[in-house]
Amino acid sequence: MSRNLTADLAADLRNRIVDGVIQPGEKLPSENTLISDFGVSRTVVRAALTRLQAEGLVETERGRGSFALTPPAEGLQAAPGARPVATTEDRLHLLAFRMGVETEAAAL
C-alpha cells in the first residue's frame, strides 16, 4: 500500500463492490479482519468505510457491521458533470458554498 492507507483500503473495497466480488447486501469483512489483512489501524479502516458510505457504496449498522449497497448504475459519478473535490482550492470553494447554504438554512 502507498502512503495514503485510507485511500488504498477504500479503493480496494470499492473495486470489490463495483466488480461484484462483494455482492449488494453482503456483509463486508469485520474491522478486525480488515486490520489484519491490510496491516492498518482501526482508524484507517473506519475512515475508509466512512469514505465508502459517503459514496453510497456501503451502509454500516451499529453492532451488525458494514454491508455493500448496489453501486450506482452509471458508475461512481452520480450527478452529471460532477467531479471530485481534489484540490485545496476546490475544498475552499465547497466550504464557502456550504457555509452560505447552511447558514441560511439554519436561519429558517
Q: In the predicted model, is pLDDT for residue 15 greater than 90?
A: yes
pTM for the whole structure: 0.65
What is the C-alpha separation between 37 and 29, in angstroms, rounded?
10
All three cell numbers of 18, joined, read: 463495483
Determine which of 46-50, 65-69, 85-89, 91-95 has the lowest per-residue pLDDT on average: 85-89
Let me know if residue 108 belongs to a domain. no
CATH number of the domain that 9 lies in?
Answer: 1.10.10.10
Let me know if residue 87 belongs to a domain. no
Domain that holds residue 47: 5-75
Let me know if residue 99 belongs to a domain. no
To which residue does cell 448496489 refer? 70
